């Protein structure tokens, strides 16, 4: 059986499973559509959060970025896991106690202001939409390889499937489907990693393999890799080249962005009790850590294998002839994401650091998907990875679209524009909002502002600068009032998005950029790292404005008191 047929069978089988579950758990009421009727067990909820969280950025893109960036990309690993500590301690239990459906709802009630709620909706849509663009980039890569078509075609097919998938289900459908998706994606991620770790180091556990000796040289794997890279003129894998300031701010942006992303926070609205919200965050991180501990091993090992493929006789010898290139190189050439340009006309694949002499370009985003092919693993493993990548992209895209849909239908239309809207009308509005979001994200996904994980990192910066500070101050301070919160959110969002647009182009149209991440506007702060600065400004402005204006009314101060203690969460209002 050829690889294409095998891919179709495995991917088809997993899709049938998800759609089956989605139909079985079809959402009936609005309460089920948004929050699964608050009946989800913490471990299952943690698993679903894991699937929701680990998107195309984590599954498809991150290992590739680590592979080519080495130590400098550690921010992705620390940032996207460390945020759960903040979530578990600073937000999740109190928001569950508050007991509503959406993040803007909390902000609107706590800051007793429809304006605050509307600003929160705008922040939420901006961050989520940017995030969906990153997902669409990943979906495009996965589908183009799997269906053996050009990248743009893959993106359009992927978008159609995401649309169908997110629109028929609601949160409940998504919760149980996501448990299935988690299982598929984690198996798909770890199995090739185990094989490759065994091949390279003899250790079957990839996170241990990363710090073990390479079979080929007898030296530690990372030393071996450093040596290879040095021969070819690349920076050593473990060396820091990014500035400490930028690494610090980037890690911080990703961490607080994690805690401020609405599609993750709403997960904690669906657990039965406040104590479950805390443990659910822990379980989510357990399931996420399985992938995040594997990813750095995948990154380093893929780089070793890639160099081994191009330099079969060692990095000090001549590289492989283009005519002798393996099948995986040919397969990926079809997608346009891997290329060879014989600059010196010698027919050999020269892969070196020097840009003028390098003839081999590999898009970061293909590393995870190509990894099993590079390592010559069996066909079913390759098919499984394709299925896993699609599971990751679909589950997150669906979760994000839910967050956007509920913000529009619930926080804008039902609460402000037309309170008399029927349940049916509200669901329809939610679905229309999803469709518009997918269309916009697909369009922007064709010319993304970066690799999937980088685009997603921008979304985190936006969430970090706008939503996280408002939520945290709403819980930990009784003094922050409506005016302070609104001023803070607007400052954080505007400053961050302007900084991003100055570097990535206005509305991500690259030609309108005034600066680049290679030479940022302020010090060495890249656009992906600016969220942390935006967050600090948000806190500062909110504090100053609140202290210059009236303190919140007594009933709001009582509300803050009440969300701080778990007792009474069961009586939380239902709509």
Summarize as ranges the residues that interact with other proteins (CB under 8 A): 71, 74, 77-78, 81-82, 84-86, 88-90, 93, 207, 210-213, 219-224, 238, 240, 244, 247-248, 251-252, 273-275, 278-279, 281-282, 285-286, 289, 292-293, 296, 561-562, 564-570
Shortest reach from residue 442's CB to other proteins, in Å = 33
Q: Are 101 and 291 in contact (CB under 8 A)?
A: no
Tokens matching residue 59: 């599954």
Nearest residue (CB) to other proteins, 288 versus 493: 288
Q: What's the closest the beta carbon of residue 71 comes to other proteins, in angstroms? A: 6
The CB-of-469 to other proteins minimum distance in angstroms stands at: 16
Contacts of 393 (CB under 8 A, 6+ apart): 55, 56, 59, 60, 135, 138, 139, 142, 158, 162
**Which DSSP string do the residues of 319-340 spell out, in sequence order?**
--BGGG--HHHHHHHTTTSEEE
Other Cβ atoms closer than 10 A to 212: 18
SS3 label, residue 100: coil
Q: Nearest approach, Cβ of 27 to other proteins (angstroms)?
A: 27
Shortest spacing between CB 88 and other proteins, in angstroms: 5
CB 298 within 8 A of CB 113: no
Q: Which is closer to other proteins, CB of 294 or CB of 406?
A: 294
Select 14 or 55, whichever has its Cβ closest to other proteins. Answer: 55
* Contact (Cβ atoms closer than 8 angstroms) between residue 485 and residue 107: yes
Residue with tokens 């399985």: 290
Is the Cβ of residue 222 or residue 367 nearer to other proteins in the bound state?
222
Of the pair 364, 406, the CB lying nearest other proteins is at: 364
Q: ∠ CA(138), CA(142), CA(147), 5° rounding?
A: 145
Q: Minimum CB separation from other proteins for residue 501, in Å?
A: 28
Q: Name the minimum Å distance from CB 518 to other proteins.
A: 21
Inter-residue contact 405 to 97 (CB < 8 Å): no
Min separation Cβ 328 and other proteins, Å: 26
Q: Which is nearer to other proteins, 366 or 560 (CB)?
A: 560
From the CB of 301, what's the least distance to other proteins, in Å?
13
Closest separation in Å from C-beta 5 to other proteins: 38
CB-based contacts of 365, cutoff 8 Å, min separation 6: 60, 61, 64, 137, 138, 141, 337, 451, 452
Picking from 154, 142, 138, the residue whose alpha carbon sits closest to that of residue 10 is 142
CB of 244 to other proteins, least distance (A): 6
Burial per residue of 343-362, b for 16 or more beta-carbon CB atoms within 10 angstroms, e otherwise: eeeeebbbbbeeeeebbbeb
Beta carbon nearer to other proteins, 37 or 220? 220
Name which of 73 and 406 has its Cβ closer to other proteins. 73
Query: Between 294 and 496, whose beta carbon lies closer to other proteins?
Result: 294
Residue 348, φ and ψ in degrees, nearest 5: -100, 150
| Separation of alpha carbons 345 and 234, rounded Å | 23
Q: Least distance from C-beta 255 to other proteins, angstroms?
A: 8
Residue closer to other proteins, measured from CB, 441 or 569: 569
**Considering beta carbons, is residue 413 or 563 the nearer one to other proteins?**
563
138-147 burial code (b ≥16 CB/10 A, e <16):
bbbbbbbbbb
Across-strand partners of 339? 361
Q: Is 313 exposed, middle or buried (CB count within 10 Å of its CB: 0-12, 13-18, 19+)?
A: exposed
Whether the CA torsion 201, 202, 206, 211 is positive or negative: it is: negative
Cα distance between the two ends of the chain: 53
Cβ closer to other proteins: 150 or 213? Answer: 213
Which is nearer to other proteins, 86 or 459 (by Cβ)? 86
**CB of 492: closest distance to other proteins in angstroms?**
21
Taking each helix axis from N to C end, the angle separating 452-476 and 114-146, rounded to the nearest 10 degrees, works out to 160
276 or 426: CB nearest other proteins: 276
User: How many residues can be counted in the chain?
Assistant: 575
Task: Kindly state the smallest distance separating residue 535's Cβ from other proteins, in Å.
Answer: 15
Alpha-carbon distance of 24 to 11, in angstroms, equals 20
From CA 173, how far away is CA 376, in angstroms rounded? 37
């Amino acid at each position: 059986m050829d690889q294409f047929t095998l891919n179709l069978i495995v991917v088809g089988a997993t899709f049938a499973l998800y759609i089956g579950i989605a139909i079985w758990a079809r959402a009936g009421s609005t309460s089920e559509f948004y929050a699964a009727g608050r009946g989800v067990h913490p471990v299952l909820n943690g698993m679903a959060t894991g699937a929701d969280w680990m998107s195309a950025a984590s599954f498809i893109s991150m290992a590739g970025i680590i592979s080519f960036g080495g130590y400098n990309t550690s921010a992705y690993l620390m940032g996207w896991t460390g945020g759960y500590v903040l979530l578990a301690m600073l937000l999740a239990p109190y928001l569950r106690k508050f007991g509503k459906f959406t993040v803007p709802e909390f902000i609107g009630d706590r800051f007793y202001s429809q304006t605050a709620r509307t600003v929160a909706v705008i922040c939420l849509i901006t961050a989520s939409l940017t995030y969906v663009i990153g997902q669409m980039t990943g979906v495009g890569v996965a589908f183009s390889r799997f269906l053996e078509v050009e990248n743009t075609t893959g993106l359009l097919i992927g978008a159609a499937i995401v649309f169908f998938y997110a629109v028929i289900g609601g949160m409940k459908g998504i919760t149980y489907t996501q448990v299935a998706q988690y299982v598929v994606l984690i198996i798909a991620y770890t199995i090739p990693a185990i094989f490759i770790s065994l091949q390279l180091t003899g250790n079957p556990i990839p996170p241990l393999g990363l710090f073990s000796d390479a079979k080929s040289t007898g030296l530690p794997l990372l030393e071996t890799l450093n040596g290879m890279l040095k021969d070819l003129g690349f920076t050593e894998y473990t060396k820091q080249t990014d500035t400490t300031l930028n690494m610090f701010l980037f890690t911080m942006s990703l961490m607080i962005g994690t805690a401020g992303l609405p599609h993750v926070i709403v997960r904690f609205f669906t657990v039965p009790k406040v104590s479950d919200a805390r443990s659910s965050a822990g379980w989510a991180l357990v399931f996420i850590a399985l992938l995040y501990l594997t990813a750095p091993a995948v990154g380093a090992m893929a780089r070793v294998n890639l160099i081994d493929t191009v330099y079969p006789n060692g990095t000090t010898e001549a590289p492989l002839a283009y005519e002798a290139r393996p099948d995986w190189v040919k397969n990926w050439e079809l997608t346009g994401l891997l290329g060879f340009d014989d600059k010196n006309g010698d027919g050999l694949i020269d892969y070196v650091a020097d840009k003028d002499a390098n003839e081999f370009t590999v898009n970061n985003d293909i590393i995870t998907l190509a990894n099993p092919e590079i390592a010559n693993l069996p066909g079913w493993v390759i098919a499984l990875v394709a299925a896993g990548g699609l599971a990751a992209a679909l589950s997150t895209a669906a979760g994000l679209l839910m967050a956007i849909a509920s913000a529009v239908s619930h926080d804008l239309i039902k609460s402000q524009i037309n309170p008399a809207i029927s349940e049916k009308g509200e669901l329809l509005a939610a679905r229309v909002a999803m469709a518009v979001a997918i269309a916009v994200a697909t369009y922007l996904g064709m010319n993304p502002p970066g690799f999937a994980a980088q685009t997603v990192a921008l979304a985190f910066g936006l969430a970090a600068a706008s939503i996280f500070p408002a939520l945290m101050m709403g819980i930990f301070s009784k003094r922050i009032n409506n005016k302070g919160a609104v001023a803070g959110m607007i400052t954080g969002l505007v400053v961050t998005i302007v900084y991003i647009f100055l570097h990535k182009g206005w509305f991500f149209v690259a030609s309108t950029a005034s600066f680049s991440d290679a030479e940022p506007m302020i010090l060495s702060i890249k656009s992906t790292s600016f969220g942390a600065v935006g967050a600090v400004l948000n806190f500062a402005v909110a504090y100053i404005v609140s202290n210059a204006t009236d303190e919140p009314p007594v009933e709001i101060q009582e509300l803050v008191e009440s969300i701080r203690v778990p007792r009474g969460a069961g009586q939380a209002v239902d709509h």
